[in-house]
Amino acid sequence: MNEDLGFLITPDGIVLSAHLHTPDTKFIAEGIYSIKLKIEGVGAKTLSTFIDSRLKKSVEEANANNVGKLIKKAEPPYSWGDSEDLIVNFKMKASGISNNGELWTRKPALFNNDLTTLGSTKRIGIGSKVVVSYRPVNFFTPMIGAGVSLRLEAVQVLILKEPMPDASRYGFVNRGNREAEG
C-alpha cells in the first residue's frame, strides 16, 4: 500500500471480464469502467481477509452513526469460484457532476509490465495477467446496507492477451482446410 496516496495493489490475477478502454453504459448512463479478476492461492485468502475486515469496520461505523436502526451487511465485492479462487470486482465511475456543478470525466490508467503507458491500440482481454491499483471505500445506504467497494484506479498488465473475435459465437465450425465452394 502507498500510505500517502491510499492505493492498494492486488496480487497477480487473471482477467475474467473488463471494461477498461470504454465505459459500460448499459445500466448507468454516466458509464462504469470495471474489471473482474480471478486471484488464486495465498493472495486470494489475504485479499478476502482484508476485504472482510473493511466490511466489518463499515458495519461498525454505520451502527455508530445510526443508533437504534438495524444495519445489514452488504454483499462483499468478491465471491469464491472453483478451487478456492477469489473472484473480485473493481469499478470506477466514468463521469459525473462535482459538488460545485462541474462535469468531470476520468478513466483508469493502464500500464505495461515495464511501467510505460499501455498503447491506445492495445486491448486488455480475458485471460490477461494483471495487478490492479485500487482504493477500498466504506459505504452505507439503507437499501443495500453497510459495505465496502473497491474503486479501480489503474491496471498494470503483466501478460497481455488481446481480445480475439470468436468465430464459433457466430455459428461457424472448423471445416478443415477446404477451399470455399462456389
pLDDT in tens, 13-40: 999 999 999 999 999 999 999 999 999 9
Q: What's the pLDDT at 56?
A: 95
How many domains are contained in the chain?
1
User: Is 3 within a domain?
Assistant: no
Cα–Cα separations (whole angstroms), residue 60 to 46, 73, 163: 21, 10, 42
Average pLDDT, the chain: 89
Cα–Cα separations (whole angstroms), residue 177 to 172, 173, 174, 182: 14, 12, 9, 16
User: Is 174 within a domain?
Assistant: no
Q: What's the pLDDT at 2?
A: 42
User: Is 2 within a domain?
Assistant: no
User: Is 182 within a domain?
Assistant: no
Percent of the residues in the chain that have a pLDDT greater than 70, as a whole number: 91
State the residue range of the domain holding 35.
Answer: 8-166
Q: What's the pLDDT at 178?
A: 60
Contact present, 112 and 124 (Cβ < 8 Å): no
Q: What's the pLDDT at 122?
A: 87
pLDDT confidence band for 180 (50 / 70 / 90): low
CATH number for the domain spanning 101: value is: 2.40.50.140
- Does position 126 have pLDDT exceeding 80, yes or no? yes
What is the pTM (predicted TM-score) of this model? 0.83
User: Is 44 within a domain?
Assistant: yes
Q: Which amino acid is present at 58?
A: S
Q: What's the pLDDT at 181?
A: 52
User: Is 175 within a domain?
Assistant: no
Q: Average of pLDDT values for 42-69?
A: 93
User: Is 119 within a domain?
Assistant: yes
User: Is 148 within a domain?
Assistant: yes
